[in-house]
Amino acid sequence: MSKRFILCISRQFGSNGRIVGEALAEEMGITCYDKKLLEKIASEHNLSEEYVMQADEKPVRMFSRGFPMGFRNPYKLDYIESLYYTFNDNFFSIQAQTIKNIASEGSCIIIGRVADFILRDDPDMLSIFVHADLKYRIKTVMEREGVDKGKAEQMIKKKDKNRQNYYNFYSDKKWGECVTYDFSVSTSKFGVDGAVRSILKLIDY
């Protein structure tokens, strides 16, 4: 592959954004980093997989864990002076460096983790938001998780809220808003295959 592609995919829970990313990666012959990113972080930084999973895309809560003082977040442009850093923030810094290292090695797809903001100065980065209507997402979660409709809707609200809080805290943009991304696509409207085809056409692949 002569041209370098860095695709950062944010997604609503139940929209099948991860599946879109994996299908793109297979089509393009590159690596999709979702859980693989977490495994890489744990391995490279000698962290337990349990800790990495617990910290993954979770919003920071003051004094929820760790020390009341620590490093200031280098990615937050308008942080409140009185805000202290927890282990979550230290993990974010480690994760950000790993994402930069991955991108420096060549074409890749990164799912979530505020990667689009971390790599905002990379000229080859394209930010994508995968969304879907609630009915589609409920059906997806029910089938994937083996839960009833009420539980699926509850999971969607919680996961999306966590992702929103996490993204909004570590970036100067708003999760899910159209102006935040270069491109957005609905899987409930076009399906996973349609989303993949539209992205491939967009990057002229």
| Span 105-132, average pLDDT | 97
Residue 5 has pLDDT above 90, yes or no: yes
pLDDT of residue 26: 97
Alpha carbon 64 to its chain centroid, in Å, reads: 22
pLDDT tens digits, one per residue of 174-193: 999 999 999 999 999 999 99
pLDDT tens digits, one per residue of 76-113: 544 443 343 445 678 888 999 999 999 999 999 999 99
Burial class (CB in 10 A: 0-12, 13-18, 19+), 1: exposed
Q: What is the pTM of this model?
A: 0.85
pLDDT of residue 70: 41
Identify the three-state secondary structure at position 63: coil
pLDDT of residue 87: 57
Token pair recorded at residue 59: 């919003």
What is the domain partition of the chain in residue ranges? 6-200
Residues near 144 by beta carbon (within 8 Å), at least 6 away in sequence = 14
CATH of 6-200, one of 3.40.50.300, 1.10.10.10, 3.30.565.60, 3.30.930.10: 3.40.50.300
Measure the N-to-C terminal CA separation of the chain; round to a whole number of Å.
10
The rounded percent of the chain whose pLDDT value lies above 70 is 84
φ, ψ (nearest 5 deg) of residue 93: -65, -40
φ, ψ (nearest 5 deg) of residue 195: -65, -45
Reported confidence tier of residue 51, pLDDT bands at 50, 70, 90: confident
